[in-house]
Amino acid sequence: MKYAISAATGHFGQIAIRELLKEVSASDAIAIVRNVDKAKKVLPEGIEIRQADYTDKGALIKALTGVDKLLFISSVPGGDVSRETQHQNVVEAAKEDGVEYLAYTSFADADNAKSALSSDHKFTEKIIKESGMKYSFLRNAWYLENEMSYLKAGAAGEDAVYAAGDGKIGFALEREYAVGAAKVMTLDSAKNVYEFGGKPVTYAELGQAVKEVTGKQFEFKSVSDAEYRQNLIDSGFDEMTADIFVGMQDMMRDGELDVASTDLPDVLGHELTPLTDAVKEVLNR
């Protein structure tokens, strides 16, 4: 059985590969990367490295030859070639190569999500389903690491604003999602859908956790979209980036990342890192 992980040089991929190698021998594991030099530096020795950019379907067809199971890590949005096209290339190449099973890092509750950030993932889930390959959707909620600016502000005793209101977010550490993904890859009968994430909490509760960890006094203040946007612009963000961040806060306020599920601890075989410990871990990196 040959296992491949694509986008393997990213933070997620590197952790997933190391976890996979606990279960399968290095000779059965393949890293698919767009930058071979980087892969040689950051990936464990002994693993086969194959080059393919998601924008290059021909290279993907070559790289996926002989692969039985693929952990397909989603691309980064905002490239010259749309993420939809990149993902379509991966799915079509996998199908053409006879890949049996594909686990795809998707979006929380993708069936019902409406945000801009979810649309590429919804599209990708659809084409994977239509492809006829066996699949698992690893619907990752939100990496705690995404909130680094809030964690750092709190740790410095500085106030910060947010527009997500009482929206709850299922934070977990990126490494927990990545280990979960690798574990799903080695299951004999994986489920079609995993809703991965931590116990959903509000920004106010996240702030409380940062206070507990740091002993600092500060305020994470709930404000309107307009005030939040202005605050970003005053801090030096351009209008387009500010609008993207506002969209993410709206997505959180609308509850898109509020998915209560035990899928992640169930797959990991243990409880997730408690929020205060997770905050400590991220701040200590």
Ligand X SMILES: NC(=O)c1ccc[n+]([C@@H]2O[C@H](COP(=O)([O-])OP(=O)(O)OC[C@H]3O[C@@H](n4cnc5c(N)ncnc54)[C@H](OP(=O)(O)O)[C@@H]3O)[C@@H](O)[C@H]2O)c1
| Stretch in the footprint of ligand X (CB under 6 A) among 137-145, 154-162, 185-193, 264-272 | 137-145
Rounded Cα–Cα distance for residues 63 and 6 (Å): 10
- Residue 122 binds ligand X (CB under 6 A): no
Nearest to 260 by CA among 104, 147, 113, 108: 108
Rounded Cα–Cα distance for residues 94 and 281 (Å): 37
- Looking only at residues 174 through 233 of this chain, which bind ligand X when binding is defined by CB under 6 A? 174
- Residue 143 binds ligand X (CB under 6 A): yes
- Residue 58 binds ligand X (CB under 6 A): no
- Residue 87 binds ligand X (CB under 6 A): no
C-beta nearest to ligand X: residue? 10
CB of 16 to ligand X, least distance (A): 9
- Residue 105 binds ligand X (CB under 6 A): yes
Rounded Cα–Cα distance for residues 118 and 7 (Å): 19
The binder of ligand X chosen from 18, 23, 38, 205 (CB under 6 A): 38
The binder of ligand X chosen from 22, 48, 76, 191 (CB under 6 A): 76
HSE toward the beta carbon, residue 279, CA cutoff 13 A: 23
CB of 230 to ligand X, least distance (A): 25
Size of the site for ligand X (CB under 6 A): 24
Nearest to 201 by CA among 228, 249, 166, 174: 166
Q: Applying CB under 6 A, which residues contact ligand X?
A: 7, 9-13, 34-35, 38, 53-55, 73-76, 79, 86, 105, 140, 142-143, 146, 174
